[in-house]
Structure 1
């Protein structure tokens, strides 16, 4: 009987340890840093498919979107941030709120679907943003762009959806070299980063977007392969993003793998480990 009691106590202690560990991990993820895998090529070449980073939640303070959404399709688990912190939603404010800066790479909650997106902040509240021939204009002034060669990658299936990249030099067969034009873009506040271009696409010429107060305008660095604020939610885009939907700022890549699994060590990209995000 004594042995059975010890065994039962051991099981209880193990369960307690697991519960405590999950609670600590949940608090850590909610308050400080959230892990994020890059699933698509919309932020190339700043972020590549398979980059792993932590999102700094302390930068902008906290809102309902700071609570994690837990989605595990295989187990049928779909717990949304609103299910946990919905009481904190609705006023577009934040606790200990900090203002994002133009040019920040931000993870935010899609205004309609609730999915997490990562894009670059281009337009601030009150700005007028327009795209002409692929070049952003902010309040009537073109953003500076300087040609910077080309970005090359193999034409092969990438990411969870195994889709090959679009190329400026298409048609390119699988295994061929896929090329995109690269430029260094500099925003009015001096923030510089690389952007990629394929050619003339529908979102390369737009009307004028007037960013409402308390909302923001985002674009992907891979301009012709990004679903962002240039298209509204009615057309399966993002549109303007409310302040309370910001989750955090992406500051540094911690790990990167170009394969289908992080366990394929031969696909690890060691030159991207701990790389700062410009």
Structure 2
């Protein structure tokens, strides 16, 4: 049994790193308004089409010593880091959820969040094409889970309210203070749709705490000033990861206190 689990975990990491390679394409092309399917992967410097051997996640980067095979242009390490991080996320989800619909659901969620949050970091924009994709997948998984587990209306509303309430809180903050951005409302809606009400509240609180701590570090390190805009999308993604990892235990601890 342990052998099968080990194979599954290794397979999950490999699949995650392959997905991470595709996410790199999405992060690079979506802000440019380019297709994520065509043309095939190529070097942005010399435009040579990359062969399959150039596209093996993590391994190709190591063997090519971080440079294009054809023009020797340096390849940013961020690409291999995204592949590795996505692989780790898929591995952790496999350990937590095993072979299940939840594994597929949360693997999809984090793939979307990686794309959305990293585009947000690089461009300060959140694209409707990515958030609409997240909402569509969230509804598909909710319906699939409802069919498999015989949900009644109350259970569907648990996830719908998990999307609406955190998104509504962010919208209220925007209307009252003018801070944050409407794209953050969309990201909260997506995460809440996948998480459900209780974990979405944990996600929102964790996002604010993580955002405050990282912002303070950036300001203290003079990387940012108080007047600089710091994208909130990555903090929502980290808050979502925190909620999945620790949310249930935190809620149980809190209920025991009261």
Could you state the TM-score of these two structures normalised by the residue count of structure 1? 0.26
- Which fold has the larger relative contact order, with Cα–Cα distance below 8 Å and residues 6 or more apart in sequence? 1
Instruction: Give 1 or 2 for the bigger CA radius of gyration.
Output: 1
Query: Which has more helix, going by share of residues?
Result: 2
Query: Which has more strand, going by share of residues?
Result: 1
Could you state the TM-score of these two structures normalised by the residue count of structure 2? 0.28
